[in-house]
Amino acid sequence: MNSFEYLGALNNCIRNELPADEYNNVMQYYSEYFADAGIEKEQEVIQELGAPSELAGRIVAEYRGRQPGDVKLNAKKKGLPVGWIIFIAVIGSPMWLALLCVLIGIAAAVCAVAVSIVAIAIALLIGGVVCVFGGIVESFTSGANGMLAAGIGCLCTGAGVLISMLCVLIISSIVKGCKNASAKRKKKKYAAFAGAEK
């Protein structure tokens, strides 16, 4: 018996005996216990724990506050496939939760930077146009100040147009890349389908 078979047998024994959260905790604990021991010490761990039904009896008895001999298990023959047990153990690992949080944080930061760049472009465009018109009006009363304001407005407007064009170029490149990837997937699927029909 290997660790996967052992965990499958343990799963069959306890899954109907414990509440879902307690069951998940037990399965995660013993999955990590085997993972920490490694393949080379797998048989030692199995001998240490005893038969899956004995371990299940001890777990259920401890949960119910009884002696192991006083508990009868109603295990069903069929349980979760071994693949599901591994999936639950991996998904339940705190490492994946931390990694998911990091990925969400990175995605949020990228979105915040993109929104900030668009906001800067809009602010430069609006501010530049206002400065140009304000400079033209100001040039009638104070020529040098008005020309300076109009010049700064032109610079701001140019920078806003440049950043806007870069944003449009980046977004169109991303959309084009997604379309190309989708088209390649469709071609592969069609080629596989056409090959299967022959």
By CB atoms closer than 10 A (0-12, 13-18, 19+), residue 146 is middle
Q: Tell me the average pLDDT across 12-32.
A: 84
Mean pLDDT of the chain: 81
Residues 6+ apart with CB under 8 A from 147: 135, 139
d(CA 120, CA 163): 8
d(CA 76, CA 72): 13
Of 77-91, 141-155, 161-175, least confident by mean pLDDT is 77-91
CB 17 within 8 A of CB 56: yes
Is pLDDT of 104 > 90?
Answer: yes
**What's residue 12's pLDDT?**
84
**What's residue 145's pLDDT?**
87
Domain ranges of the chain: 3-92, 95-167
Residue type, 91: I
